[in-house]
Structures are given as C-alpha cells and as structure tokens.
Amino acid sequence: MAEATTQSQLTEEMEELSVSSPDSGASVLAEAVARVEGVTKVYGAGATKVTALDDVTVEFQRGQMTAIMGPSGSGKSTLLHCLAGLDTVTSGRIVVADADISTMSDKELTVLRRDRIGFVFQSFNLIPTLTAERNITLQRRLGRHGVDSDWFDKVVDILEIRERLDHRPSELSGGQQQRVAVARALISKPEMIIADEPTGNLDQASGREVLSFLRRAVNEYGQTVVIVTHDAAAASYADRVIFLADGQVVGELQHPTTAQIFERLQELEK
C-alpha cells in the first residue's frame, strides 16, 4: 500500500465520529503485544500476482523496540501495514492487543487504530489548520475520551515542545513536527507505536532526537515500538532487528550495532 494512501486513510478516520470499542476475542498472549501467525499477503492474480508476504510468523514483545529491515520489495512495509490493520491479509492471523484483527470490521479496526495503536509517519501527517496541541489531542477528543492532563504535561515536556503548542505545523521545523507526531502517538498510552520511516524526512540531528525520544518511551514507560527503516543507524536504537527478504523473515539480531546491521543488509542485497 502506498504511503500516501495509508496516511490519507488515517486522516479520514480521525474525522469520523466515535464508535464502540471492538470485542477482544483472542486469548491473551504472554508478554506479546502483537503476533503475526502464518501470514501471507498476495496482490493481483495470474501474470500480475505478487506475493508480498509468504507465511510470516513473528511476535512483538511488550516494552521492546523492534526494527523491520530488508531490501526494497522485501515486504517490510506490507508487514507493518498488515500489523496496523491498514491492509488485509490473504491468509493467516494477526493478533494485536489481545484482539484478532483479521476478523474485525472496518469500524472495529478504526477504533483499534484510534485508541490502541499510535502512528508516526515519515511525512508527519499533521492537520495543517490545527495547532500542535490540537493535533496531539484530536483523536482523544474525537473518540470522546478525556485527555490525561498529567500525562499530556509529561509527554510535551519529554519532547520539549511546550513552547510550540500554539503553533501550526507550517510554523514548526521538520524535527518539531515529528516531535508533535510522537506526542500524538503517545497521548493515548497505546499498546503499540508503529513508525514508518520516522526519520526519513529529518536531518541527522533531528532524526537522532526523535529516535532517542522513542527509545526513552520504551525504557521509562514500557512502550512497545515497531519501526520500519532503511537506515542501519536508526535501527541500532532497537532491541532487535528483524530482516525480511522476498516476503519472508530471514533472520534477526538482538541488541545490534550499526556495523552488524549494515553487514547483514549488505549480505541480503547481494
């Protein structure tokens, strides 16, 4: 799924009225926030058939940052979008926050994404007519949930954006916009934060700051973060890196260095 379509879909959902929360039909996963079980994703048919994911099984542990990497066309973005319920699977099962999203209706998926998953995108995806503060709290207000003022204060202070809360996105630098996006992702205390190339539009210094904030959310608040990135230095902030090639998981590294990640990527691209 193209990034523009993904972000447009989420923006439309942010403008919808509240619906009831989905049922949790799956059994509790010990220590796992999400699990992908035997997932295959096929696009097209016949001569145009493309298998983006091929029998993928992987889980994402609570309180960890996981990076997903691989060559172009390896299926990493497809895996992220399926994990977020932004794309449907052809076969297999995905459980997120104890709920089988493979069987959810569109309304149930909308609520899951709004209340239990935080999103950070490469192009920030902020609403240009709203201030930073309104962007951060919009989904909580649309869902008719209150905003925890103590948590709000903690998040904006951690991200060092308090003095920018009354600014609109056009009045913020790229790094500041991404900090607002991270605050928006954190404000609902989601089960999981999904970040698609979160440093792709940032300079090196701003990118390091955003990754440090995500790392701090994991270390200090037990947040679960899953990122897709092509950048070995960005992936080195993660507790583990999962590598995909031709739609399959082909390995992983625990607590990797930038050099180890880069070496593995070179091997996959040969």
Is residue 115's pLDDT more than 80? yes
Model confidence over 134-170: pLDDT tens digits? 999 988 877 667 888 999 999 999 899 999 999 999 9
Q: Answer whether 261's CB lies under 8 Å from 235's CB.
A: yes
Which residues of 198-238 form beta strands (DSSP E)?
225-228
- Listed by start position, the domains of the chain span 5-9+29-269
| Token representation of residue 186 | 């954190």
Asked if 264 contacts 253 with a C-beta cutoff of 8 angstroms, the reply is yes
Please give the Cα distance from 144 to 129 (Å, whole number).
21
Share of the chain above pLDDT 90, in %: 70
Burial 146-175 (b: 16+ CB within 10 A, else e): eeeeeebeebbebbebeebbebbbeebebb
Q: CB-based burial of residue 121 (10 Å sphere; 0-12 exposed, 13-18 middle, 19+ buried)? A: buried
What is the CATH topology of the domain spanning 5-9+29-269? Rossmann fold (3.40.50)
